[in-house]
């Protein structure tokens, strides 16, 4: 896989959209990319759990958790399941927990912060719809590129050197 360096991608592809710099890197993979799959949910990670149980096939799970700072929407068990099922990464517009374990997990994980409380499980939310946060709309099938410099979205897979 080519190296993901988002400043270089921005220089070579000025049409990419950059998310506002709100996210912290928590995962064991500092740089990752893949086609986008989405979940929209609020303080209920049932659909996140459902998604990471499926084959990831190198995709990035983009979760619009409404920016909630009141609970974690991803922890060590779901992250390890995502890594084991071939997901490239998770972008969480919300919080994560078990951060010491997440840092050892072979998965890209960027989130707004950490919170020790788990979320509710009511089965609420939507999947595979466009989501908007951090100044960008992210749609299933678009490509996401992330590293310690930031998160980029492209309409399609970019030819990286």
* Cα gap 151→18, rounded to integer Å: 6
The response to whether 147 counts as a known ligand-binding position is: no
In CATH, what number does 6-148 get? 3.50.30.40
Residue 97 is assigned to a ligand binding site: yes
Q: What is the pTM of this model?
A: 0.97
DSSP string, 95-121: EE--HHHHTTSSSEEEEEEE-SSBPB-
CA atoms within 13 A on the CB side of 129: 10
| 157 marked ligand binding residue | no
What are 9-45's pLDDT values in tens digits? 999 999 999 999 999 999 999 999 999 999 999 999 9
Q: Is the pLDDT of residue 107 over 80?
A: yes
Is 56 flagged in the annotation as binding?
no
The CA distance from 125 to 115, in Å, is 20
**Domain coordinates of the chain in residue numbers?**
6-148
Given a contact cutoff of 8 angstroms between Cβ atoms, the answer to whether 114 and 69 are in contact is: no
**51-60 tens-digit pLDDT:** 999 999 999 9
* Residue 78 is assigned to a ligand binding site: yes
């Amino acid at each position: 896989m080519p190296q993901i360096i988002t400043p270089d991608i921005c220089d070579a592809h000025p049409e990419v959209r950059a998310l506002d710099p709100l996210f912290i890197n928590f995962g064991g993979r500092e740089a990752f990319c893949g086609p986008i799959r989405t979940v929209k949910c609020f303080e209920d990670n049932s659909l996140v759990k459902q998604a990471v149980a499926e084959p990831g096939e190198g995709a990035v799970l983009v979760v619009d958790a409404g920016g909630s700072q009141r609970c974690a929407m991803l922890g060590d068990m779901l992250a390890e399941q995502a890594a084991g099922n071939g997901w490239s990464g998770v972008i969480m517009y919300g919080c994560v927990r078990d951060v010491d374990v997440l840092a050892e997990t072979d998965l890209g994980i960027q989130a707004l912060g950490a919170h020790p409380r788990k979320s509710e499980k009511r089965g609420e939310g939507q999947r595979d719809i466009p989501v908007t946060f951090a100044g960008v709309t992210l749609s299933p099938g678009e490509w996401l590129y992330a590293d310690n410099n930031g998160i980029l979205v492209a309409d399609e897979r970019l030819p990286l050197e």
